[in-house]
Structure 1
Amino acid sequence: MREHPPICTFKGKEPVVCCTDCTIVEDVRNIIFNPKTELLSMTGQKANDKCVNFVDKLDYDCKLNTRANYTRVFDPNSNCYEIGVNTETMPVVMPAPRESYLALLGYGNDINTAQWLCAGTIISEKFILTAAECLTKENVGSVRYVAVGIQKRTDPPRLWPKYNVKRIIAHPEYQPPSRYNDIGLLETTETITFSRAVLPACLHSDPNSTEVFAEANILVFDKNGNDQGSLKQVTLRQFDEFQCSIFYPPHAKLAKGYSDASQICYGDTKGPVDSCQMDSGSPLMATSKLFECAASILGVTSFERTCGTAGSSGLFTKVIHYIPWIESIVWS
Structure 2
Amino acid sequence: GDSCDLKNGGKGTCVNLRQCSTAITLLQEQKTVPQICGFIGFDALVCCNDEKQKAPQNIKEPGAVKCKEYYPYAIYGILIPGGEQSLAREFPHMAAIGFGKTDDIQWLCGGSLISPNYVLTAAHCLNSSQLDRIEILMMIGVGDKMRTQQEVCRLFHEMHPDREPVSQSTVSRIERKYRELGHVRDAPRQAHPISLGMYFRGPPRYVRLGELDFATEQDDAQPQDFTVKRVIPHPDFRPVSGRYHDIGLIELDRNVIPTHHVSFACLDTVRAHKEPQMISTGWGRTEFSGRTSTHLLKINLDTVSIDECQRFYQGARREVPRGVVDDLQLCAGGKPDQDTCQGDSGGPLQLRYEDVGSAIYAYTIVGITSFGKACGLSRTPGIYTRVYGYLSWIEGIVWP
Report if TM-score (shorter chain) is over 0.5.
yes
Secondary structure in structure 2 of the residue aligned to 1:54? helix
Checking the alignment, whether the CA contact within 8 Å between 2:372 and 2:383 is kept in structure 1 is yes
Query: 1:206-225 residue pairs with structure 2 within 5 A?
Result: 206-207=270-271, 211-221=273-283
Partner of 1:15: none
Partner of 1:128: 119
**Which of structures 1 and 2 has the larger relative contact order (alpha carbons within 8 angstroms, sep 6+)?**
2
Partner of 1:27: none
Q: Who wins on radius of gyration, i.e. which is larger? A: 2
The alignment status of 1:151 with 2:212, answered yes or no, reads yes
The one-letter amino acid paired with 1:327 is: E
Report deviation, 1:253.
2.2
* Same amino acid, percent of matched pairs: 30
The alignment status of 1:166 with 2:181, answered yes or no, reads no
Distance in 1, matches of 2:281 and 2:247, equals: 18
Q: How many residues align?
A: 264
Residue ranges of structure 1 left out of the alignment (5+ in a row)? 1-31, 66-94
Residue ranges of structure 2 left out of the alignment (5+ in a row)? 1-20, 30-55, 80-86, 128-197, 288-292
Partner of 2:376: 308
1:29-74 Cα distance to aligned partner (Å, 9 max, x none) = xxx522696243641211011011111x225215x89xxxxxxxxx
Report deviation, 1:214.
1.9
The alignment status of 1:115 with 2:106, answered yes or no, reads yes
1:236-262 Cα distance to aligned partner (Å, 9 max, x none) = 111111111012224112221211110
Report deviation, 1:289.
7.2
Report deviation, 1:222.
7.4
Report deviation, 1:221.
3.4
The one-letter amino acid paired with 1:236 is: L
The alignment status of 1:256 with 2:318, answered yes or no, reads no
Distance in 2, matches of 1:298 and 1:273, equals: 18
Distance in 1, matches of 2:277 and 2:363, equals: 13
Higher percent of residues as strand? 1
The alignment status of 1:298 with 2:361, answered yes or no, reads no
RMSD: 3.0
The alignment status of 1:46 with 2:111, answered yes or no, reads no
Distance in 2, matches of 1:172 and 1:39, equals: 34
Distance in 2, matches of 1:229 and 1:259, equals: 34
Partner of 2:294: 229
Given the two structures, how large is their TM-score scaled by the length of structure 1? 0.72
Distance in 2, matches of 1:174 and 1:253, equals: 12
Checking the alignment, whether the CA contact within 8 Å between 1:216 and 1:237 is kept in structure 2 is yes
Partner of 1:60: 75
Partner of 1:105: 97
Checking the alignment, whether the CA contact within 8 Å between 1:222 and 1:230 is kept in structure 2 is no
Partner of 2:245: 181
The one-letter amino acid paired with 2:63 is: A
The alignment status of 1:203 with 2:267, answered yes or no, reads yes
Distance in 2, matches of 1:115 and 1:203, equals: 27
Partner of 1:22: none
Checking the alignment, whether the CA contact within 8 Å between 2:279 and 2:349 is kept in structure 1 is yes
Q: 1:181 to 1:197 in 2, by over 3 A?
A: same
The one-letter amino acid paired with 1:322 is: Y
Checking the alignment, whether the CA contact within 8 Å between 2:110 and 2:282 is kept in structure 1 is no
1:273 to 328, 332, 338: 338
Given the two structures, how large is their TM-score scaled by the length of structure 2? 0.60
Partner of 1:318: 386
Partner of 1:81: none
1:120-159 Cα distance to aligned partner (Å, 9 max, x none) = 1000000000000000131111111111111013347xx8
Partner of 1:17: none
Higher percent of residues as helix? 2
Q: 1:280 to 1:331 in 2, by over 3 A?
A: same
Report deviation, 1:224.
6.4
